[in-house]
Chains A and B, each alone.
Chain A
Amino acid sequence: MPERHAARRPDNVIPLREDVVAPVPGPAGPAPEPADWERRLAGGLAFLRRRITGDYPVDDFGFDADLTEHVLLPPLRPLYDTWFRVETRGLDNVPDTGAALVVANHSGTLPLDALMTAIALLDHHPASRHLRMLAADLVFALPVLAPLARKGGNTLACNADAERLLSGGELVGVWPEGFKGIGKPFRERYKLQRFGRGGFVSAALRTGAPIIPCSIVGAEETYPMLGNAKTLARLLGLPYLPITPTFPLLGPLGAVPLPSKWIIEFGEPIETASLGGAAAAEDPMLVFNLTDQVRETIQSTLYTLLMQRRSVFF
């Protein structure tokens, strides 16, 4: 937040320069320089023209940075800033350039934790890094969601894609608990589930990318899952169908998350480059141990953060 106020300051300073006669009084006051709204307008029009004529780049995975920055993420920013008041820690543990694998705990019924982590890294990391997330195949089977996920930089959680992204020097995010983590009942909050089969570790080992354990506190309380309508979920082909205090009781209003206070902490990177590369990835014991180490780190950080938290909502 503070840096955004700072960015606007030059416009507020300009009216003091009385020697310049401004031709047009704009909402930002008379100014010889293009006013803020004009720059926004110019940017908006250029954006519209690019969209209409298809003049924007998309990478091999279907990632559309232009759309992500200007359309997909802006509606989520109020959620990040005002609703959850996300506090980030340890952003300097995420490298400015090059590959890294952010591994985080998953919770909250809907993957808001993934979206908030992506905003944290794009808006608040000094290098404004795009987080390329690995998502479940269900996401890519659903209409509307499938193309949005690809355009937002997600790709299928499989080793081929993870290694391709990491060897391309991207910052990759993975939530290895998957549905077991995000769809767990509220009473098991902040208890990490099994970390998949360690696929993320072998991807990191093969590409020599550091693993950054990431602990997210607050997402568990957004949609406390009290029950699970398993039969209906199976009928709909979903992994779970949550029953929360507000859903399905309040209908669409149940989609409003509870305003919990969030902390996202990026831990010390775990180097994998020196562990032996592809050969190490073929050593199941090493992979299991490293998986456990990452899991333990996140779990203990979660406990520490929970101790520091004054209450769920403040």
Chain B
Amino acid sequence: MSDRRTGTAGRPRVVLVTGVSRYLGSRLAGRLAADRSIERIIGVDTVAPRGEQRQLLGRTEFVRADIRNPLIAKVIASGDVDTVVHLNVIATPTGAGGRTAMKEINVIGTMQLLAACQKAPSMRRLVVKSTTAVYGSSPRDPALFREELAPRALPRAGYAKDAVEVEGYVRGFGRRRPDVTLSLLRFTNFIGPTIDTPLTRYLSLPVVPTVLGFDPRIQLCHEDDGLEVLRRAVVEEHPGIFNVGGTGVLLLSQALRRLGRPALPVPSPGVSLVARAFRGAGVVDFSPEQMRYLEHGRVADVTRLREAFGWCPRPTAEAFADFVASARPPMLDPEVAAAAERTILDLLTRGRVAPAPSPGVLGA
């Protein structure tokens, strides 16, 4: 974890992490705690970290506070905080206690936090986790979204709409405090052996419902790489908006085949019914805007991240392979399939050595 920076002026001294009892928050705080150049790490959340999360935190000081409460301003002022990492923008209503509460936490929480940051003279750096969902998902989308491209269809509901509003407030903060370095990180969907997101739950269903007649391109970010980007945004200096995700894409159908899960194509009008059933059963929490994602997909261009950070998350396919390795064994193992291919060929050609299949043979 060495840093190439020469001066110490840009290094954070006191870092405040919101949403520290959650997956990313606890792990990021743990990584920062391992960095001895940072004096203090203050973790804030409404609930105390549980067993595993607590162990990850290391020397992080936990403050039980609600960012919707002006109390947060006292924490920032009294702690002389110079870097704030805002991870408390949550994607699913189930963990928050309903959609209304989720919106409260996301939007009102961000407003309060930013108001507190604006008043704090010690503030030097603000890192905000956002999502590529702000680009929406429509048939009129370009193949890859660059950071400056305006979405063709603004998200109208759910997490994506919250994220759009959060970004609006963050931009407002940036105008009022131009002396604070602002890093806005738009993450693609996370994947990995340990993280629990609507997407990983969806992909873990025994039979995966898809939208009939659509096959979206998906882009993934490995959990470890996402944390590394956050860490670098904290300890290095990277002002601007960045898409964060792996290069390359997988088609949903292709991902399911690699995972060895059967797909269940559902006609578009029936999809919302199925989604509601899953939501009711508490299996997967898929909002309507994520349903649109299942039709049209979304891919972001990560060139700016690679150039500014000098580093890039591993490709989508590799990140997904790590998830596949940890998932339930597929119905049809690729090695079994390869063996079956050889056996069938042997049987049909009666023991003669088959040539290596060359591409284009079938099309000739």
Give the interface of A toward B (CB within 8 A).
Answer: 4, 7, 23-24, 34, 38-49, 51-56, 58-62, 64, 66, 69-70, 73-74, 137-147, 150-151, 155-156, 158, 160-161, 164
Contacts and interface: CB of A to CB of B under 8 A. Distances in A.
B358 A140 contact: no
Interface string B209-223: 001111101000000
Interface stretch (B28-36, B159-167, B244-252): B244-252
Contacts of A164: 143-144
B296 interface: yes
A146 B214 CA distance: 7
Contact of B348 (A41, A73, A147): A41
Interface residues of B, number: 55
Contacts of A58: 217, 249-251, 254
Interface in B281-303: 295-296, 299
A270 B105 CA distance: 57
Interface stretch (B93-101, B171-179, B349-357): B349-357
Given A42-B355, A43-B361, A58-B249, A158 B144 contact: no
A62 B218 CA distance: 10
Contacts of B141: 156
B361 A40 contact: yes
B335 to A, nearest CB: 9
B362 A38 contact: no
A52 B257 contact: yes
Nearest to A141: B139
A152 to B, nearest CB: 12
B268 A143 contact: yes
Chain A contact residues, majority secondary structure: helix
Contacts of A143: 211-214, 268
Contact of B254 (A23, A54, A69, A160): A54
Contact of A48 (B215, B295, B341, B356): B341
Contacts of A139: 139
B143 A155 contact: yes
Contact of A161 (B142, B215, B254, B341): B142
Interface in B318-364: 332, 334, 337-338, 340-341, 344-345, 348-350, 352-364
B315 to A, nearest CB: 11
Contact of A42 (B149, B250, B345): B345
Interface of B: 139-144, 146, 149, 211-215, 217, 247-251, 253-260, 268, 295-296, 299, 332, 334, 337-338, 340-341, 344-345, 348-350, 352-364
Question: Which 6 pairs, one residue from A and one from B, show the smallest C-beta to C-beta distance?
Answer: A143-B213, A54-B257, A43-B361, A147-B215, A46-B357, A140-B139
Given A56-B254, A58-B254, A4 B337 contact: no
Chain B CB within 10 A, most for which of A39, A44, A73, A142: A39
B213 A43 contact: no
Chain A CB within 10 A, most for which of B247, B260, B334, B350: B334
A60 B249 contact: yes
Given A24-B349, A147-B214, A160-B142, A52 B337 contact: yes
A54 B255 contact: yes
Contacts of B248: 59-60
Contacts of B146: 160
Nearest to B342: A45
Contacts of A146: 139, 213-215, 295-296
A274 B109 CA distance: 54
Contact of A137 (B139, B217, B358, B361): B139
Contact of B364 (A4, A53, A60, A64): A4
Contacts of A145: 213
Contact of B251 (A49, A62, A161): A62
A39 B144 CA distance: 39
B140 A156 contact: yes
5 contacts: A40-B364, A42-B356, A43-B362, A59-B248, A144-B213
B349 A69 contact: no
B152 to A, nearest CB: 9
Contacts of B359: 43, 66, 69
B94 to A, nearest CB: 30
B361 A140 contact: no
Contact of B349 (A38, A74, A137, A160): A38
Contacts of A147: 213-215, 251
A24 B146 CA distance: 59
B291 to A, nearest CB: 14
Contacts of B356: 42
B293 to A, nearest CB: 14
Contacts of A151: 215, 251
B354 A47 contact: no
Chain A CB within 10 A, most for which of B215, B255, B256: B215
Contact of A54 (B140, B256, B364): B256
B352 A60 contact: no
A304 B363 CA distance: 34
